[in-house]
Amino acid sequence: MAGAIKEASAVWQNEGHAFQVTVPSGATLRLDSEGVHFRPAELLMVGLAGCTGMDVIDILRKKRQNVTGFEVRVKGEQAADHPRKFVAIEVNYIVSGHNIDREAVRRAVELSETKYCSVMATLRPVANITTHFEVREADAVSA
């Protein structure tokens, strides 16, 4: 049985390395190798942060954790020589809320890493991926 198909189209903008990228949903973004636009390799880190972040927040909601803030920070190291593949990636999860169960967070991260995040599963064979998490008690004002 075939899996899901993902598509994207990149159209050169007739300047330098600039491309306008579109996906079937209609979402667009601009790629470039300079300036303030996304670089293609950065999108791998964006994809990883979003993929695992969606998994973890979904699992924490199902575990009825009172999350008031959540951030995923991803930092990837590329090899010096071409094709400059990623060799090491660090993923840091910062969960804020009220009475958050650290074990629930640990398990949510583990499930994303080992079962749900397709981007992590794709990158894991070529890069050493390490993960860490931090749980912060939210201020009473943000309740």
- pLDDT of 2 > 80? The answer is no
Domain count, the chain: 2
Pair 48, 91 in one domain: yes
- Please tell me whether residues 76 and 112 are part of one structural domain: yes
Residues 67 and 106 grouped into a single domain: yes
Which amino acid is located at 74 in the chain?
V
Same domain, 53 and 81: yes
For residues 34 and 44, state if they share a domain.
no
pLDDT at residue 141 greater than cutoff 60: no
* 25 and 55 both lie in a single domain: no
CATH of the domain at 62: 3.30.300.20
22 and 51 fall within a common domain? no
Q: Domain check: are 1 and 66 in the same one? A: no
Exposed e or buried b per residue across 51-84, where buried means at least 16 C-beta atoms within 10 angstroms of its C-beta = bbbebbbebbeeeebebeebebebebebeeeeee
pLDDT digits (tens, 9 = 90+) for 92-124: 999 999 999 999 999 999 999 999 999 999 999
**C-alpha to C-alpha distance for 123 and 79, rounded to whole angstroms:** 14
Shared-domain flag, residues 105 and 130: yes
Whole-structure pTM value: 0.90
Asked whether residue 134 falls in the same domain as residue 65, the answer is yes
- State what percent of residues in the chain have pLDDT above 70: 97
pLDDT tens-digit series, residues 33-75: 887 899 999 999 999 999 999 999 999 999 999 999 999 999 9
Q: What is the pLDDT of residues 72-88, one digit of tens each?
A: 999 999 999 999 999 99
Domain that holds residue 126: 40-142
